[in-house]
Amino acid sequence: MSSGPAGVLTSATLRNSPNQDARPQGAVIDLLVIHNISLPPGEFGGPWIDDLFMNRLDPDAHPYFATIASHKVSTHLLIRRDGELLQYVPLHLRAWHAGVSCHEGRERCNDFSIGIELEGDDHTPYTEEQYAALATVTKEIIAMYPDINPERITGHSNIAPGRKTDPGPAFDWELFQQLLAANL
């Protein structure tokens, strides 16, 4: 895996979400945030995640969508259940994934973090393919951004406690750390 033009991973399918902007001048990218997403909640597959990040989610396609269709959100990367890697925002730019957030006293985590969404929910086990893809892409991100290391990887729930629960109890942090440690 390698990066192509301006922070785009060559192994990822680029979608180019409109929900991105420049990071603040002098921002150091030093945090990786792991999320989960399923649309509708608890369902996998389909175009809905892509539609949300591309601002084209049909509010009438599902009752839940009416509550989120107007949200302007994105992520840097999405890992589907089969391990497919999609990229919505170049890594050097700011994706709108963390919302109101704080890590070690620093607010606005979007300014200094990279967000990775796993297609899943808090209670459904993630797939082997997702863990393998996550470990691989995390190793590449660490190589590109040396201020990120295994201790600078966190869940959305840790930077937005009480507001967010992902990646949830179904995420096996120990397995992920083992896969990450191999060949790091």
Give CA–CA dist 134/141, Å, rounded.
10
Beta bridge partners, 106, equal 103
* Cis omega (within 30 of 0) for bond into 161: no
Give CA–CA dist 98/34, Å, rounded.
10
Judged against a pLDDT cut of 80, whether residue 5 lies above it is answered with: no
Write the DSSP assignment of 62-127 as a string of letters: STTHHHHTT-----SEEE-TT--EEESS-TTSEES-S-S-EETTEE-GGGTEEEEEEE--SSSPPP
Secondary structure tally for the chain: helices H, strands E: 5, 10
Catalytic-role residue among 104, 107, 117, 119 = 117
HSE on the CB side for 100, CA within 13 Å?
4
**pLDDT score at 95:** 98
How many structural domains does the chain have? 1
Q: What is the pLDDT of residues 80-132, one digit of tens each?
A: 999 999 999 999 999 999 999 999 999 999 999 999 999 999 999 999 999 99
The answer as to whether 136 is a domain residue is yes
The answer as to whether 51 is a domain residue is yes
- Other residues' Cβ atoms within 10 Å of the Cβ of residue 41: 10
Domain holding 51, by residue range, is 33-181
**pLDDT score at 177:** 96
The yes-or-no answer on residue 117 being catalytic is yes
Model confidence band, residue 6 (pLDDT cutoffs 50, 70, 90): confident
Q: What is the pLDDT of residues 127-174, one digit of tens each?
A: 999 999 999 999 999 999 999 999 999 999 999 999 999 999 999 999
**pLDDT score at 22:** 97
The domain spanning residue 128 has which CATH number? 3.40.80.10
Q: What is the pLDDT of residues 20-74, one digit of tens each?
A: 999 999 999 999 999 999 999 999 999 999 999 999 999 999 999 999 999 999 9
The answer as to whether 104 is a domain residue is yes
Residue type, 47: P
Give CA–CA dist 136/143, Å, rounded.
11
Structure tokens at 4: 């192509």
